[in-house]
């Protein structure tokens, strides 16, 4: 099952980059679960929240899927990859609320400082 986790995490990363990929045999149900949970993902002011164990448990109970611990580990790994990629694309370090400042080609001079801060 570790191989399936690696394959599905790689697909999540490559899908985020805009590639269309074929989900491997045996991974379609996990992919469906991830897409369903991802579609109901909550967001905060800074971006997406990770899919919680509680949300997975509610989904499992409502849908009646016989999820095992290994399935949940794979779903969490897929989600972790997606969230990390999202923040990477937003130019933010992981686990940070603030975006990284854009690099400036200008040197800070006293005149520029005064112009900015008065």
Cβ proximity of 50 and 60 under 8 Å:
no
Cβ proximity of 40 and 55 under 8 Å:
yes
Other CB atoms within a 10 A radius of the CB of residue 13 amount to 16
Q: What is the pLDDT of residues 72-115, one digit of tens each?
A: 999 999 999 999 988 888 765 566 666 666 667 778 888 888 88
Cβ proximity of 88 and 99 under 8 Å:
no
Q: What is the pLDDT of residues 8-58, one digit of tens each?
A: 998 888 887 777 888 888 899 999 999 999 999 999 988 899 999 999 999
Burial class, 74, CB count within 10 angstroms (exposed 0-12 / middle 13-18 / buried 19+): buried
Tokens standing for residue 54: 């509680």
pTM of the model: 0.72
Tokens standing for residue 60: 């499992």
């Amino acid at each position: 099952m570790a191989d399936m986790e690696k394959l599905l995490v790689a697909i999540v990363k490559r899908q985020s980059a805009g590639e269309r990929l074929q989900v491997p045999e045996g991974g379609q149900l996990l992919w469906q679960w991830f897409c369903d949970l991802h579609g109901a993902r909550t967001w905060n002011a800074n971006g997406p929240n990770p899919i919680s164990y509680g949300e997975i448990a509610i989904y499992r109970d409502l849908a009646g899927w016989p999820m095992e611990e290994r399935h949940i580990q794979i779903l969490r790994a897929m989600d972790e990859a997606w969230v990390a990629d999202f923040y990477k694309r937003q130019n933010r370090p992981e686990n940070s609320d603030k975006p990284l400042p854009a690099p400036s080609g200008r040197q800070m001079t006293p005149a520029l400082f005064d112009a900015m801060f008065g």
